Amino acid sequence: MLADGTSALLLLATVALVCAAAAPPPGRVTIDLAAGPLATIQPNTTFGAALDGMGRGEVARTFTAFNIARMKAAGLGPVSYRLRTELGIEAWHWSGEGKWSDPRHARGYWVGSVHPRRPVMTTWGFALPRRGDTIDQAGNTGYSRLDDGDRRTFWKSNPYLDPRYTGEASARPQWVVVEFTHDEAIGAARIDWAAPFARRYQVQYWIGADEYDDQGRWATFPGGAVNAGKGGRETLVLAATPIRTKFIRILLEDSSGLAPVGATDPRDAIGFAIGELSLGARGPDGALIDAVRHGAGRDSQTIMHVSSTDPWRRAIDRDRDLEQPGFDRVFESGLTRGLPMMVPVGVVYDTPENAAAEIRFLEARHYPVRQVELGEEPDGQYIAAEDFGALYLEFADAIHRVDPNIALGGPSLQQAISDVWLDPTTDRSWTSHFIRYLKGRGRLGDLAFFTFEHYPFDDLCGPLEDKLLAESGLMDADLARLRADGVPPEIPWIISEYGFSAFGGEPEVRIESALINADIAAGFAGRGGAAAYLFGYAPDSPWAGARPCGGAGNLMLWQAGDDGRARWPMPTFWGARMLTRDWAGEGGTLFSASTDVRDEQGRALVAAYALRRPSGAWRLLLINRDPAAAHRVSLPFPGPLATVQYGAGQYAWDATAAAAIRAATCRRSGVGLPETPSICRSVR
């Protein structure tokens, strides 16, 4: 029934209902007109797709006319360009042409060419030779220079966090955190400094049950405070009796300001640099018994975390295994449909000068760009929110000197609820720290939109029905947290990436993936979200996550053959098509809708999303979250209804065949592309 009791002219009602087998008693769908509209759906902005970096050779294989046509067939509108290089602790050369700050040696700080001679088709990341982190969130093939066993290499902090760039009164302290696999007895340290070294620093240990302990705190070792450091090799007696701890921090407070011999770039003298780090207890002869494992690989060294990394690199550091599609290739392919693309700039591992050049290039090419996203999961890189805020404002200033009207936003949180790590402050929210920093500088207006990722389930094992029923509550909790963190409600909130999980697993290729993706996109729009970008635009192949019980799967619209060619549409493809074509269409107004089909805990087994199009026609999206049963519902529309349905009757993932020969079997029923066979199998 219509909740306000009025009648309505129903030109057409489309029902998208995902069903299973049995048939309990019918429930009822209610549309609440009295509450007024929830939100407006814009066909060219609300539902988009995220385009990410790729492996060696995959850009050219993916961007073919054949694949582009199939990707576009999903009906998704705008594109969000993601930076996998940033997750890999690499600097992104958005153009293959440009200049080095030290051109003689093809090294230093890079600025891309605004007017390259050749089209920008494929771009790469460049590994950072002054890297301090052991692990990253991309290929994870790099390693820290703090304990690589080579005193000639070194980690160095980001010079752009110095007052001459940030405009702050003093330099931001930097740090190194050593993470042991278990508590170690630490009573001495040996630091092989590079240049610039620290004149004042503290060696500290963490007191707490774990790294997220609300009562945890850093304590300086009795012999851990150094106020007149001299560089070179410094050996410290930290405590007469070793102290057991899992985490050690070296807090760097005052730099020598001395550059390495022969350096000419002023940035080489800014920040802190350490060549090799050792920690442990003293033996009977007073010598250090090193608890740190040293090796040139992430599996052969103790885990190191750093507050920042110098984006200095060399031409020889290009990572040929991590490609990004070039802007010319993306825009000229037609994939963007002529709509403005949300483009990124590297922040944590790049320079403001290179970011400004990127915007000059895009505008010189006359490519439609409405939003520039600053940051790619900085909360997952362990950078302090205040440090990221300082870099954010530097990049904002550089970009706005090019175009003062372009909208800047970010920071693309890896998840909406993001807590600070090994931080003793009362406020544990990374987002709250970031927002408060911008406010404190009087610069909150530089955040024109806010982005975060939404992958609700890390663990893909266990009953899928529980996950389908839990997603709405998780979305509500995410948005409530962002409001509590002070994210301005008047600016657009955007999900820059979404999907079942950030990890591989079989649920991502089963029918449940279509259900949960539709629920996320429609649910976010109904809660006032400005746009949501589905991850997995490019054809791909299943892969197994960390836990065997999760099976093999992937976030993908199309499963690719060995040649990278899109072969078989996945449930996410059909779900996206229904969402964009059959339900949203030309857009319209969302109204509150609900069903009384609920489980014992009061959770809605059938979700309802009601849209009134500009023509006055209604579209009702119904999602059955109950894989054990079909549910009949009475609808608030008189007369005949046009229905489109996608569910177990149209698709099934053959897990047995997939495990045996990496095959997928799919069935169609009345909807689909004409070239799609009734049964399709992938032999890999």
What is the full DSSP assignment across 546-600?
Answer: SSGGG-EE-S-SEEE-TTS-EEEE-HHHHHHHIIIIIIITT-EEEEEEEES-B-T
Q: Give the residue ranges of the chain where pLDDT is below 70.
A: 1-24, 657-684
CB atoms within 10 A of CB 170: 10
CATH 1.20.1250.20 fits 47-127+315-584, yes or no: no
Residue-wise burial string across 324-349, b where 16 or more C-beta atoms lie within 10 A, e elsewhere: bbbbbbbbebebbeeebbbbbbbbbb
In 77-161, which ranges are E strands? 79-81, 90-93, 98-102, 107-112, 122-127, 155-156
511-526 vs 464-484: helix crossing angle, rounded to 10:
30
User: What does pTM read for this prediction?
Assistant: 0.92
Q: Which structure tokens are listed for 211?
A: 């790294």
Report which of 353, 336, 302, 328 is spatially closest to residue 91, judged by C-alpha positions. Answer: 353
In 584-645, which ranges are E strands? 588-595, 606-612, 618-624, 633-634, 642-644
- Alpha carbon separation from 442 to 167, 369, 447, 677 (Å, rounded): 13, 26, 11, 59
pLDDT value at position 1?
Answer: 34
Q: Burial, 602: exposed, middle or buried (Cβ in 10 Å; 0-12, 13-18, 19+)?
A: exposed
Q: Provide φ and ψ at 529, rounded to 5°.
A: -65, 140
Contact at 8 Å (CB) between 46 and 525? yes
Task: Give the separation between CA 304 and CA 178, rounded to whole angstroms.
Answer: 5
What pLDDT digit, counting tens, does each position of 147-167 carry? Answer: 999 999 999 999 999 999 999
Residue 638, CB half-sphere, CA atoms under 13 Å: how many? 5
pLDDT value at position 659?
Answer: 53
- Beta bridge partners of residue 122, listed in sequence order: 325
Task: Give the separation between CA 305 and CA 380, rounded to whole angstroms.
Answer: 11
Distance of CA 17 to the CA centre of its chain: 31
The DSSP bridge pattern shows strands 371-374 and 407-413 to be parallel
Report which of 380, 495, 518 is spatially closest to residue 80, judged by C-alpha positions. Answer: 495
Task: Give the separation between CA 217 and CA 204, rounded to whole angstroms.
Answer: 10
Task: Give the separation between CA 197 and CA 253, rounded to whole angstroms.
Answer: 10
- Beta bridge partners of residue 305, listed in sequence order: 177
Q: Which structure tokens are listed for 219?
A: 């304590």
Q: What is the DSSP string of 149-194?
A: S-TT--EE--GGGSHHHH--SSPPPEEEEEEEEEEEEE-EEEEEE-
Q: Provide φ and ψ at 449, rounded to 5°.
A: -155, 160
For 201, the 3-state DSSP assignment is strand
CB atoms within 10 A of CB 116: 15
Task: Give the separation between CA 253 and CA 409, rounded to whole angstroms.
Answer: 30
The CATH 3.20.20.80 portion of the chain extends over 47-127+315-584
The CATH 2.60.120.260 portion of the chain extends over 155-310
C-alpha torsion angle, residues 301, 305, 309, 315 (rounded to 10): 30
For 104, the 3-state DSSP assignment is helix
pLDDT value at position 23?
Answer: 53
pLDDT value at position 360?
Answer: 98
Q: Which CATH number fits domain 155-310: 1.10.238.10, 3.30.70.20, 2.60.120.260, 2.40.110.10?
A: 2.60.120.260
What pLDDT digit, counting tens, does each position of 180-217 carry? Answer: 999 999 999 999 999 999 999 999 999 998 888 888 99
Task: Give the separation between CA 270 and CA 276, rounded to whole angstroms.
Answer: 19
Contact at 8 Å (CB) between 256 and 199? yes
Report which of 272, 269, 253, 271 is spatially closest to residue 261, judged by C-alpha positions. Answer: 269
Task: Give the separation between CA 500 and CA 502, rounded to whole angstroms.
Answer: 7
For residue 415, give the amino acid letter.
Q
What letter would DSSP give residue 46?
Answer: S
